[in-house]
Amino acid sequence: MADANPFVDPLRFARRVPPCAVVIFGANGDLTMRKLMPALYRIHYEGRMPASFAVIGTSRTAMTDAEFRVKMRASVEKFLEDSPFEREVWEGFEPNLFYEPGDVADAGFYARLAARLSVAEETCGTAGNVLFYLSTQPSHYATVVRGIGEARLAEGAGWRRLVVEKPFGHDLESARKLDDAIHEVFPESSVYRIDHYLGKETVQNILAFRFGNGIFEPLWNRRYVNYVQITAAESIGVEGRGSYYQETGALRDMIQNHLLQVMATVGMEPSNIFEAGAVRDERAKFLRSVRPIRAADVDKYAVAGQYGPSRAGGVETPGFREEPGVDADAQTDTYAAVTFYVDNWRWAGVPFYVRTGKRLPKRVTDIAIQFNSAPHSLFAVGGEDGRASARPNLLIMRIQPEEGISLRFMSKYPGSGMKLRPVSMDFSYGSSFGTRTPTAYETLLVDALSGDATLYTRQDMVEASWRAVAPILNVWAGRRFDFPNYSAGTWGPAESDDMLKRNGHFWRIP
Amino acid sequence: MGAAAGAVRPEQILKDLEALWVELGQSDPEKRNAVLRACSMTLLVALDEGDDEQEAAETVAELMHEHPSRSIVLRVSRDGGEALEARVLAQCWMPFGRRQQICCERIEITAPVERLDEVPRVILGVTVPDLPVVLWCRGARLCGEKGFAELAAVADKLIVDSAEFPTAEGGLEFVRKASGRKLTGDLAWTRVTAWREMVALLFDCPETGMTARQIERVRVLHGGSEAGSSAAYLAGWLRATLGGGVLVGMEARREEEGSIVGIEFEGDGMRASVSARGGFAVLRMNEREHRVPFAPQTLSLLLREELGILDRDGWFEASLG
């Protein structure tokens, strides 16, 4: 084992990436240009990239190293978030970018890639450490992993890791198949399944809020919490991704991965240490406790929706079925709402309402924890009906766009008499700390390159998530819906409101 | 935005602050919640007569973004005046793309140096309860004044800059004594962080095969004829890290400017160095050379780092000796 570097000071030094090569499959794609390359540049900008690194982009498109560099520069300049592009910094970054074109099904391509990596190890000093990033179409994942394995690229002097973008399969069976293919080449400890929601600062802040404070956790259970609502609303439609989205739908695209991970972050038990294995064990345990919905109960606990055309403010918005690339009788859910129950001591009987949709009134992601009302109201005056308008306490954790935490509580209205009004106490994450927040991809890339998998999902978590949604997907697959059932610009179908009404609850308007 | 100057009584200052917030809240009735109040500590800034007040004010404003605080700026006058004076202000900014201003409170107190010992009692009454108090003493001369120890006692952490003292040895001696009594930060040590990171990076390049074990001699190169306190800290840190078997020396590069201008390592089959050039650090490892962005070290960045550390810093203490 190499000597540990005695000069490192974790108290003051920013976390640094060790010497390595990053191989991006699908380097000519949207994700690389919008997210990965700006994130890598920004990590370099902050001086957190090592002196010895190489980024090797690959895709079918023929390009030279120089052409690739020009293209990547343009994408960094265009998509860099909240920070300036500095020519001098780019000039220090650019020489370490390389490109190898090829077909992922061609064995010769991996031989050329091996040669590239060998040169990078020699000239850039990457120490044999390689991170393979699958940013290709999901249908190519297994082929690429097999190619890496056959060319023996998963072995070498340093570490070899694999980052996989979602979707991790399209159901439980295909997720397992993909996993088997990956595990033929990479051990689980080297596999990093990325869910960018977990890389968001505000999702991480849920852990800080829950486990860094002593006053909330005692209330964080079925005795005090009435229900939990998780909303991930988008105001946009499918934006040219109609044919892809038609095969996916809201339940698969958002709830199975992002929102169940967020739900696990809200509901998991504290781990004894903040370390990848321990934190992920708790998340997995929570997801395994999500009660599977019986086929006969799917209509009671899940609602599918699809937006129809609308006209608002003089603007015509097409319905989903009118979007380019979408079938005229598409059965895709552009809206999904599910009531989950979690069968453990902490959450037994507490509904977790999760909803997501496209063409909703605004873009917002938040979590609302509704606490039980005060058991008895002392204050009988106030409210329209002359009774006290006692509102239960509500804790809102906003993930986007205005990240923060709000607590709603009752306060006396100024003046004589005892009239109460709900007031909100706000903590704004972005404005309380005025510094730039790293993007989810910056956080997750540094983590993967440093070997920290805490914010990555694990196969058992993926399988537990698929198990939670599988009964709904199965029932919906055999159903012909009377779509569209909500207009663009509204908060989803009426059936979704009815689902909550049956429990005496209602959806918040975020 | 300011409030009228008043008598220096803590209750009056707090009352003025309250009035200020009411005024701010009403300043834009069209926008609900137009102002957000944020506070994570009390930052006490002690300025001596002749210190650059404008620079200090700008630095405090920059710090508010990451460390929103109630700042108390104490101006010590040496012009023979007798009165203690105080006024309150709000420092507001509008974060990019947001609709709410963020405002932090600022209290300015002026005191003649002869009455410095009266100030801590005023300050004790206006610090934010239950949050840390950090004292940044801008001027070295102030540190030696009667009453300064009492002022420092109000704070949980004292930040000074030993580079501002007439001699490096005098500055380091002050820091040694202060750190024996309370949590202390020295901006001369903070300046060394960027250099230390480059040294760590130098030995993170496996292709060179260089390890710290190979080092036999180190030279810290400093500008001017005398080594400043930052160079002394860097040498102290290298000694503490590498142990007694390695010879660590300092060498003047008179023609160059800056407390530290480079570091050179020599040993068994290895030569390595770090130097700074135009916004980049140049790392040389035998025949290889890398350029790495080298963070600019503005006063606010140095303070930002120190304000983020409210616990003991083992490497600082070891380097101080």
Q: Rounded distance, CA A398 to CA A291, Å? A: 26
Chain A contacts of B293, Cβ < 8 Å?
44-47, 89, 92
The answer to whether B200 contacts chain A (CB < 8 Å) is: yes
Token pair in block for residue A211? 């486990």
pLDDT of residue B5: 37
Instruction: Give the mean pLDDT of B131-135.
Output: 93
- Taking the CB of residue A166, how many other CB atoms lie within 10 A of it? 18
Name the residue type at position A387. R
**Average pLDDT score over residue span A418-444:** 78
Residue A386 in this model has a pLDDT that exceeds 70 = no
Q: Would the pLDDT of A252 be above 50?
A: yes
**Which of A14, A92, A430 is the closest to B280 by Cβ?**
A92
Q: What is the rounded (10 degree) CA torsion for A444, A448, A452, A453?
A: 80
Strand ranges in A166-314 using DSSP code E only, listed in sequence order: 191-194, 225-233, 302-305, 307-308, 310-312
ipTM of the complex: 0.84
Residue-wise pLDDT tens digits, B202-258: 887 766 778 889 999 999 999 888 889 999 999 999 999 999 899 999 999 877 766
Probe site for chain A from B22, B60, B197, B205 (most A CB atoms < 10 A): B197
Q: What is the pLDDT of residue A111?
A: 96
CA distance B60 to chain A (A): 13
Q: Contact B196/A9, CB-based, under 8 Å?
A: yes
pLDDT, greater one: A57 or B285 = A57
Mean pLDDT of B150-175: 94
Chain A residues with CB inside 8 Å of B35's CB? none
Residue A40 has pLDDT above 70, yes or no: yes
Task: Give the pLDDT score at A1.
Answer: 43
Between A30-34, A227-231, B141-145, B276-280, the lowest mean confidence (pLDDT) is in B276-280
- The answer on pLDDT for A250 being more than 70 is yes
Contact B315 A426 (CB under 8 A): no
Distance between CA A124 and CA A130 in Å, rounded? Answer: 12
Catalytically annotated residues of A: 258
Distance CA B223, CA B251 (A): 9
How far apart, in whole angstroms, are the C-alpha atoms of residue A23 and residue A5? 26
> Min CA distance, A170 vs chain B (Å)?
38
Are A342 and A350 a contacting pair, CB within 8 Å?
yes
Measured between CA atoms, how close is B209 to chain A, in angstroms?
Answer: 10
User: A254-279 pLDDT, tens per residue?
Assistant: 999 999 999 999 999 999 988 889 99
Whether residues B288 and A125 touch (CB distance < 8 A) is answered with: yes
pLDDT digits (tens, 9 = 90+) for A14-29: 777 888 999 999 999 9
| Chain A residues with beta carbon closer than 8 angstroms to that of B98 | 402, 430-431
Residue A51 has its nearest CB partner, among B100, B201, B211, at B201
Chain A interface, best mutation among B201, B246, B285, B315, by max A CB count within 10 A:
B201
Question: Is the per-residue pLDDT at A383 higher than 70?
Answer: no
Q: Read off the pLDDT band of A434 (50, 70, 90).
A: low
Amino acid present at B232: A
pLDDT category at B25 given cuts 50, 70, 90 is: low
A3, A47, A122 ranked by CB distance to B213: nearest: A3
Alpha-carbon span B42 to B57, nearest angstrom: 15
How do residues B75-120 score in pLDDT, each as one tens digit?
999 887 778 888 888 877 766 555 666 677 889 999 998 888 888 9
Residues of A with a Cβ under 8 Å from any B Cβ are 2-3, 5-9, 11-14, 16, 18-19, 44-47, 50-52, 82, 88-89, 92, 121-122, 124-127, 402, 426, 428, 430-435
**pLDDT value of position A291:** 96
In this prediction, residues A141-170 reach a mean pLDDT of: 94
Structure tokens that stand for A481 in this block: 């819906």
Q: What average pLDDT is seen over chain A?
A: 90
Residue A505 pLDDT: 95
Contact A434 B283 (CB under 8 A): no
- Amino acid B37: pLDDT: 64
> Would you state the pLDDT for residue B280?
83
Rounded distance between C-alpha atoms, residue A227 and residue B234, angstroms? 56
CB contact (8 A) between residue B204 and residue A88: no
Cβ–Cβ below 8 Å for A47 and B294: yes
Output A225 or A378, whichever has higher pLDDT: A225
B188 has a pLDDT exceeding 70: yes
- Do residue A12 and residue B193 have CB atoms under 8 angstroms apart? yes
pLDDT recorded at residue A71: 96
pLDDT tens-digit readout, A305-345: 999 998 776 778 899 999 998 999 999 999 999 999 999 99
Return the percentage of chain A with pLDDT > 90, whole number: 68
pLDDT bracket for residue B32 (50, 70, 90): very low
pLDDT of residue A123 exceeding 50, the answer is yes
